[in-house]
Amino acid sequence: MKYLKKTDPQIYKAILNETKRQNDKLELIASENFTSREILEAISSVMTNKYAEGYPGKRWYGGCEFVDEAERLCIERAKKLFRAEHANVQPHSGSQANMAVFFAALNIGDTVLAMDLRSGGHLSHGYRLNFSGKYFHVVPYGLSRKTEMLDYDEILALAKEYKPKMILAGGSAYPRTIDFKKFRRICDEVGAYLLVDMAHIAGLVATGLHPSPVPLAEFVTTTTHKTLRGPRSGVILCKRKFAKRIDTAVFPGIQGGPFMHTIAAKAVCFKMALEASFKRYQKQVLVNAKELAIALSEKGYRIVSQGTDTHLLLVDLTGKNLTGKDAASVLDRANITVNKNLIPFDKKSAFLTSGLRLGTPALTTRGMKETEMRKIATLIDDILKKPRDQKTLASVKESVKRLAGKFPLYKDILKELKRV
Ligand code: DSN
């Protein structure tokens, strides 16, 4: 980045510091990951310069022959990876992908049944300040009080009562396997479309470690940067008969020029996700999440729904005299990065919360395994037991430094950044 350093030393410094932060801290935010050098190369390429409104072979601009090639590869690889009939790889994000499906499948004011934000849903699934909640009538479903898992009987009852035009499955903080077959049956009973937002679990779905919604749902959306470990972006998969409607909803419906550098990077992501090593990685993500959940529960932390089937777990801090907000902030001071999260039936506000959400995709990318998960559970416990103790803070910070040092990240980038 010698040019950047010369022209804009402030941004250069911010990037250098962010690279260091990612290397030095323990990243447990369930929706984050560390993408590969290949993907970083593609996303910082000259493809960012190209306008390509339209679709491969049917663009509104000249000079699209090479970006067409990239987008075609991206589409074919997405279809192969997820065994999908049609893929639109242009959405800039998961929210844009969801927005395009809402506009393709529904009319303004139509009823949608979706997971409540407070139970682990997502903003774009009906939050009142989001487009989804503003322009559509969203009826929320929650979780069973007893199991803290999806209650398919309740979802069916709500579906019968409200007759939604679309039912949305998937969320941001649900640690258990989602039974897409049950969702399909509910949709068939009331004549609703099924939209699955698999953003969190896409890497697990791609490798067969979570049942796939693709054969069952009319529409599937995902981001590409969570378990999939690609660039920050979105994708829509759908049945062939909805292809035209989805494509029109994305462009010209809600977006202009697609980000061709990101599409090139998504193509690389899908290629890498088709390799055998990606499945080995995803298996370790699951093993690590289970190990972390067990280690924390042995230390007296209640894990929501008694465990996890995925890459994430929710820790209930009720009774620990600490809100999720305070816990996340004190862990951050110790260089352990997590996020506060509502737990099911939380009595606290979304700002304070009674829980923490922890995920293993990023640390697994660094090569960490069960031994490290146990060590991290101990470090988390040390901090949360004595959140104001400066000696504990210093000693945990030192342990984090040692642990992170054993699993270097972007080592060559850091070296290069310091050199120029
Ligand atoms: N904001 C993301 C998450 O953290 O889960 C979802 O898009």
E-strand ranges in 35-74 read 54-55, 58-59
Strand partners, 196: 169, 220
375 SS3 class: helix
Per the document, the length of the chain is 420
Mark whether 111 and 242 lie in a shared domain: yes
Does residue 10 sit within a domain? Answer: no
User: Last residue of a domain, which of 247, 273, 299?
Assistant: 273
**Mean pLDDT throughout 66-93?**
98
Q: How many structural domains does the chain have? A: 2
Does residue 19 sit within a domain? Answer: no
**Model confidence at 367: pLDDT above 70:** yes
Q: Which residues carry out catalysis?
A: 51, 53, 197, 223, 226, 232
Distance 62 CA to ligand 1 centre (A): 36
Predicted local distance difference test score (pLDDT) of residue 383: 98
Count the Cβ atoms, other than its own, within 10 Å of residue 345: 12
Does residue 8 sit within a domain? Answer: no
Residue pLDDT, tens place only, 186-230: 999 999 999 999 999 999 999 999 999 999 999 999 999 999 999
> How far is the C-alpha of 56 from the C-alpha of 66, rounded, in Å?
10
Residue 228: which residues within 8 A CB-CB, separation 6 or more? 33, 202, 203, 206, 222, 269, 273
**Mean pLDDT throughout 51-64?**
98
Categorize the per-residue pLDDT at 413 as very low, low, confident or very high, splitting at 50, 70 and 90: confident
Closest-CA residue, ligand 1 atom 4, reads: 31
> How far is the C-alpha of 420 from the C-alpha of 407, rounded, in Å?
24
Residue pLDDT, tens place only, 206-215: 999 999 999 9
Mark whether 97 and 63 lie in a shared domain: yes
Distance 264 CA to ligand 1 centre (A): 23
> How far is the C-alpha of 375 from the C-alpha of 272, rounded, in Å?
30
Q: Give the number of the atom of ligand 1 that is nearest the alpha carbon of residue 32.
A: 4
**Mean pLDDT throughout 328-353?**
97
Q: Give the number of the atom of ligand 1 that is nearest the alpha carbon of residue 95.
A: 7
Torsion sign across C-alpha atoms 80, 81, 82, 86: negative
Mark whether 216 and 330 lie in a shared domain: no
Distance 356 CA to ligand 1 centre (A): 14
Predicted local distance difference test score (pLDDT) of residue 40: 97
Distance 235 CA to ligand 1 centre (A): 15
The CATH code of the domain that includes 98 is: 3.40.640.10
Mark whether 246 and 294 lie in a shared domain: no
**Residue 250 carries which DSSP code?**
I
Q: What proportion of the chain, given as a percentage, has pLDDT over 90?
A: 97
Residue pLDDT, tens place only, 137-169: 999 999 999 999 999 999 999 999 999 999 999
Mark whether 403 and 254 lie in a shared domain: no
Mark whether 253 and 323 lie in a shared domain: no
Mark whether 173 and 288 lie in a shared domain: no
**Model confidence at 307: pLDDT above 70:** yes
DSSP character string of 128-193: TTSHHHHHSEEEEE-B-TTTSSB-HHHHHHHHHHH--SEEEE--SS--S---HHHHHHHHHHHT-E
Q: Give the number of the atom of ligand 1 that is nearest the alpha carbon of residue 200.
A: 5
Mutational pocket test of ligand 1: of 31, 223, 232, the residue with most ligand atoms within 8 Å of the beta carbon:
31
Predicted local distance difference test score (pLDDT) of residue 420: 66
Predicted local distance difference test score (pLDDT) of residue 417: 74
Average pLDDT over the chain, rounded to whole?
97
Predicted local distance difference test score (pLDDT) of residue 67: 98
**Mean pLDDT throughout 292-311?**
98
Strand partners, 141: 115
Distance 59 CA to ligand 1 centre (A): 32
Residue corresponding to tokens 């352990």: 336
Mark whether 267 and 292 lie in a shared domain: no
Strand partners, 314: 357
Residues contacting ligand 1 via CB (< 6 Å): 31, 94, 122, 172, 199
Mark whether 214 and 295 lie in a shared domain: no
Whether the model clears a pTM of 0.95, i.e. scores above it, the answer is yes
Q: Give the number of the atom of ligand 1 that is nearest the alpha carbon of residue 124.
A: 7
